Chain A
Amino acid sequence: AAGVIQSPRHLIKEKRETATLKCYPIPRHDTVYWYQQGPGQDPQFLISFYEKMQSDKGSIPDRFSAQQFSDYHSELNMSSLELGDSALYFCATYNQMVTEAFFGQGTRLTVV
């Protein structure tokens, strides 16, 4: 069965650079959630989209932005990267017929 695809799996960037993380949901999943998980921490909600519209917003820095496209994939854009942005970034996708999150394998971002 198709799963949630995140790309890239690993990313190394320097401070003040920009990064773009992508999430491709399971077919017919119209909802995407983004989470940030720092080392040794629990995942923290960043932002979500339903039917290409932002549906909820968490503790997402102003330096970050995201959108969901017509094919339902989502991109998280991160600018002016800081060392503290180093983390594992997950996306999770749903549709209204399911009651569990389907997680991607995550993108490990390292800022040096």
Chain B
Amino acid sequence: AQTVTQSQPEMSVQEAETVTLSCTYDTSENNYYLFWYKQPPSRQMILVIRQEAYKQQNATENRFSVNFQKAAKSFSLKISDSQLGDTAMYFCAFMSAGGTSYGKLTFGQGTILTVHP
């Protein structure tokens, strides 16, 4: 079974600054996907960024980028130029790339990010 760990229950950052959210995971699989989801107060689950495990290049999406370290099983999210609208709960999630568990997401405990003006 896979596990995902987010060791930072809460983080805060000043507007326009950079913040990094940490995530580690454990799996015996070689092919998988990793995701960061944002859940604002509306509680809608919004995909922020996705990383395929077979890709060495770190994914980027505008102000969001990841540092994917496959050997260390680490998958951190960096948010640059933080904006007030980034305030939300952030979940790291693991998904198997095949087999009967394809599509099943295993989530970390979440990190509450607050962006201060």
* CB of A24 closer than 8 Å to a CB of B: no
Q: How far is the CB of B101 from chain A (nearest CB, A)?
A: 6
Contact among B47, B91, B103, B107 with A31 in the assembled complex (CB-CB below 8 Å) = B103
CB interface residues, A 83-110, toward B, < 8 Å: 88, 90, 92, 94, 99-101, 103, 105-106, 108
Q: Which residue of B lies closest to A35 (CB)?
A: B105
- B21-61 CB mask vs A (1 if < 8 Å, else 0) is 00000000000010100000001110100101000000000
Q: What are the residues of chain B within 8 A of A100 when measuring CB–CB?
A: 33, 35, 47, 50
Question: Are A106 and B43 also in contact (CB < 8 A) when A56-B101, A99-B52, A100-B35 are?
Answer: yes
Contact among B43, B91, B105 with A33 in the assembled complex (CB-CB below 8 Å) = B105
* CB of A68 closer than 8 Å to a CB of B: no
Interface size on A, residues (CB 8 A): 24
* CB of A74 closer than 8 Å to a CB of B: no
* CB of B106 closer than 8 Å to a CB of A: yes
A45 near B106 (CB under 8 angstroms)? yes
Question: Are A56 and B100 also in contact (CB < 8 A) when A42-B107, A90-B45 are?
Answer: yes
Q: Which residue of B lies closest to A55 (CB)?
A: B100
CB interface residues, A 20-71, toward B, < 8 Å: 31, 33, 35, 37, 41-45, 48, 55-56, 58
Q: What are the residues of chain A within 8 A of B106 when measuring CB–CB?
A: 45
B45 near A103 (CB under 8 angstroms)? yes
Q: Interface residues, chain B, CB within 8 Å of chain A?
A: 33, 35, 43-45, 47, 50, 52, 91, 95, 97, 100-101, 103-110
